[in-house]
A and B are shown apart, each in its own frame.
Chain A
Amino acid sequence: MSLDTTTLLAILAMAVVTYVTRIAGLFVADRLVLTGRAKAAFDAIPPAVLVAVIAPTALTTGWAEAIAAAVTALAAFRLPLLGTVAVGVVSVVVLRSLL
């Protein structure tokens, strides 16, 4: 097992940056009192962030992925989380073999 010094430094830099982003929100949160549009914007953070992360895979990779994403979204309103993941994985495998 090897641990390269430059690699270790890069990992540490990534770790420090990530931890800082994780606690940075704590410094602003208590000063936020939100109403109206600002509150709507704040409440939209969770779905907006999650969707932005997966949008390229779901929408622009290919038809198999796009259709599988749509099927998964339909399943997501009816099934528990694990069932949703299973539907997504199975449908992408089936669609990739068909398309």
Chain B
Amino acid sequence: MVMDQANPFAVSYRREIRAGLRDIAPVVVAAIPISLLFGAVAAAKGLSPLEVTVMSALVFAGGAQFAAIETWIHPAPILTLAFATLLINARHVLMGASLSPKVQMSQVQRFLSFFFLTDEAWALSERRALERPVTTAYWVAMGGVLWANWTFFSALGAVLGSFLGDPERIGADFAFTALFIGLVAGFGRSRVTLITVAVSAGVAALVHHFIGAPWHVASGALAGIAAASLAAPQDAPQDAPREARS
């Protein structure tokens, strides 16, 4: 206790890093087969291990990278790929806007560290933000580990390539879906949340079937958000803990 008082900052800093690593650990484990799968698929499409590594390190967005690789041709259609990436990652704008008031960071830290914005780290941070603010140490510990993990294992996947065998046989392709279901469950099962999930899932599935990727992401998300707005009581009481903090 005396030591805590001597340097409370260092103690909480370490505690935040530990909390970040603990929260992201299951995501990191689940991401390994997905990363290997991405590298292997990209290599099968003709990308070199170096190109796969550079893409994972700089883009660091699984959904957009899988979509890009799925439609990859040589030479690469730069504008088409950039536009598909924008469509798939447009959700980051909403996610960043939602998380930004809940993080304890300077503006510079925010701009640098939001490179680490991913569905997983963001979902875990939103959940943590229900109880306490998200610190830079917590966020960067999660993001850094997830980034290194994604980059390393997608590179390894590209090198190993066909040695991995059929990913469907070992169910690795479903790990991503199961991971997201687990993250969604973390947001509880209130009436509004259940309506949101049902509408978002239905619209995304229909749009994907009749129109195709990547339109299902934006349309499903927007439909779910609209449904939540309609399902909510018109003057819902303020969220007390969150108000008290801001």
Interface residues in chain A, defined as those with a beta carbon under 8 Å from any beta carbon in chain B: 1-4, 6-15, 17-19, 21-26, 28-30, 32, 35-60, 65, 68-69, 72-73, 76-77, 79-82, 84-85, 87-90, 92-93, 96
Contacts and interface: CB of A to CB of B under 8 A. Distances in A.
A25 B78 contact: no
Q: Is the interface of B mostly helix, strand, loop or mixed?
A: helix
A92 B172 CA distance: 9
**How big is chain B's contact interface, by range?**
35 or more
Interface of B: 25-27, 29-30, 47-51, 54-55, 58-61, 63-65, 68, 74-79, 81-82, 85-86, 89-101, 110-111, 114-115, 117, 119, 122-123, 126, 168-172, 174-185, 187, 189, 192-193, 196-197, 200-205, 208-209, 213, 216-236, 238-239
Contacts of A4: 48, 51, 74-76
B185 A10 contact: no
Nearest to A90: B171
A65 to B, nearest CB: 7
Contacts of B64: 14, 18
Given A26-B114, A46-B184, A84-B178, 9 more contacts: A4-B48, A13-B85, A22-B115, A25-B100, A26-B111, A44-B224, A48-B223, A51-B201, A92-B171
